[in-house]
Chain A
């Protein structure tokens, strides 16, 4: 095969993206676990560990820049590197949302829960599932699968609405819950944004495979 070493650089890059994806998924799962267990120490660690995700993003960007500068990628190789530059930005931002949940856990402290956490973990589960599927579609160059992931964003939006309405009702009923309920709305909002960012990743996968830049799914929020 011609340009064996270049192909290896690209494969390494793909592996880095997958590794970064794993780091981000772990951050989301940990942040929700910390919220459920109201574990402030773990929340602090999540915030610290976000630096690692940020660093991974800079490393990946640097590799992409070096490849563009030295290897003159064209066609699907170029699209892949451009797509990766976008994908790592989205992943980094998703990491920030998980970090944001960590910060909320710290604000929440040991105040009693407003309500049992059911829909928020479900939102997180769906968002993580979307993210996993998008990374899988990236590896398999599957534009169809990427497009399908985008339509799942509607489910996350529906859950978000549900959480919002429910918490609004708590606040109306008992103003003492306002600050705690607001924290939970922020959490739900972060998760809703994660799912939106995943749809951006999917759009980049469609671009990588087909060369078309298109908005696949317009989120309600």
Chain B
């Protein structure tokens, strides 16, 4: 099977002020697979993730050079429609960040911003579809008017993923999505990600190497802002090519 890459970076450098946070990163993220980015704290993995929907623009004194090509377009071009980009490349964060609204309104929120779907039946259809995707429909279909904060943390994180799915993205970015969850909820979210990869390109940043090994198809190891190694997860965790990767994944540093 030939792999098509969904996202490709070419010579990507990123400075926070004088600090070089990403140095000449060249990565090809395969479509409809789960790619994990691992590496010690401060290696640039979250920074790289935030490049893919230009979330770093929100941080002052950020300077990006190089190219980030998604579906043939360089998203660093000044005329990039950021609202559209972030709809296409959705993001889920470390702690579930549900809004202090009902479950229904949490899910509808993005639709309003993007002026998508007006008919009530269409909206309900989309809500059902996205809650089904994350395995919450059966539990929540009669509780859509309840405040989202009444849900368990795992349900909240699932709801955050559902909220992203509402906007029909191509790519889902996840930044440490399980760090606030207990081990069983973590495994359930991992199962969910595996099911979602049929339709979406998923990129997950995680401190938890074991999680990267369990859930991903491809793994990139970053160190001091550079992408040291990228390959099939099985290969990275059984016969990494680089000593740095070997030392990190075997716990000799990091």
Contact = CB atoms under 8 A, between A and B. Distances in A.
B231 to A, nearest CB: 13
Contacts of B238: 65-66, 69
B237 interface: yes
Interface in B170-188: 184, 187-188
Interface in A1-21: 2-6
B194 A5 contact: yes
A71 interface: yes
Tell me the interface secondary structure of chain B in the complex: helix
Interface residues of A, number: 11
B214 interface: yes
Given A71-B214, A72-B210, A72-B214, A66 B234 contact: yes
Contact of B191 (A4, A70, A72): A4
B213 interface: yes
Contacts of B188: 2
A70 B237 contact: yes
B136 to A, nearest CB: 16
Tell me the interface secondary structure of chain A in the complex: helix
Nearest to A5: B194
B233 interface: yes
A61 to B, nearest CB: 11
Contact of A69 (B187, B190, B191, B237): B237
A2 B184 contact: yes
A71 B213 contact: yes
A66 to B, nearest CB: 5
A69 B234 contact: yes
A71 B233 CA distance: 11
A197 to B, nearest CB: 28
A2 to B, nearest CB: 5
29 contacts: A2-B184, A2-B187, A2-B188, A2-B191, A3-B187, A3-B190, A3-B191, A4-B191, A5-B191, A5-B194, A6-B214, A65-B238, A66-B234, A66-B237, A66-B238, A69-B213, A69-B234, A69-B237, A69-B238, A70-B213, A70-B214, A70-B233, A70-B234, A70-B237, A71-B213, A71-B214, A72-B210, A72-B213, A72-B214
Given A2-B187, A2-B191, A4-B191, 7 more contacts: A2-B184, A3-B187, A3-B190, A66-B238, A69-B234, A70-B213, A70-B237
**Top 7 A-B pairs, shortest CB-CB distance:** A70-B213, A69-B237, A66-B234, A69-B238, A2-B187, A72-B210, A5-B194
